[in-house]
A = this chain, B = another copy of it.
Amino acid sequence: MRVLGIDPGLTRCGFGVIDSTTTGKAALVAVGVLRSDPTAAIEQRLLDIDTAISQLFVDYAPDSIAVERVFAQANVRTVMGTAQVSGLALVNASRRGLPVRSYTPSEVKAAITGSGRADKAQVGTMVTKILGLPEMPKPADAADALAIAICHLWRGAAQDRLAAAVAAARR
């Protein structure tokens, strides 16, 4: 299974693509950051990010999408842009009929590090270790997107097994 993880943002939107391997591990396919020009009009910035997200689906043909869930933060202006970009990611997945899930930041941290309160460095370190990378992906938004994808691969697989077990028990 190939998972596309997205850490939504208007100025920097992190993305990470991973494959589940036959040995149950996760392998890096691609990682990076989509950017929009902070001096451009908001509608142009959103369109640029939307076009770039759409291209990710073409380039990597993911089977499943995971998006970080947006919460209200101190900076209202930032959270609006983040919410709008997360909406674009969800619509892009839905338009292609692909399954998509959202995870809170603490769900992602807990899945990757064992603690929902882990800091960014700890998440980055674990992502690097899990994927067997020579160094930590940068910037942090890119590493976060990989963490979201790994979280989805692990939790999604566990949820699928659980659903299968429940279905089997009912037969």
Interface residues of A (CB under 8 A from B): 42-44, 46-47, 50, 70-72, 76, 79-80, 83-88, 90-91, 93-95, 100, 102
Inter-chain contacts of A76 with B (CB < 8 A) = 71-72
Inter-chain contacts of A88 with B (CB < 8 A) = 87-88, 91
Cross-chain contact of A94 among B43, B70, B90 (Cβ < 8 A) = B43
A166 to chain B, nearest CB (A): 20
Contact of B83 with A46 in the complex, beta carbons under 8 Å = no
A contacts with B: majority SS: helix
Inter-chain contacts of A93 with B (CB < 8 A) = 43
Residue of B nearest to A51 (CB): B95
Inter-chain contacts of A47 with B (CB < 8 A) = 90-91, 94-95
A92 to chain B, nearest CB (A): 9
Of A44, A70, A90, most buried by chain B (CB within 10 Å of CB) is A90
Contact of B84 with A43 in the complex, beta carbons under 8 Å = no
A100 to B100, CA, bound (A): 30
Cross-chain contact of A83 among B44, B87, B102 (Cβ < 8 A) = B87
Q: Which 8 A-B pairs have the closest CB atoms?
A: A84-B87, A83-B83, A43-B94, A47-B94, A43-B90, A72-B76, A80-B83, A46-B91
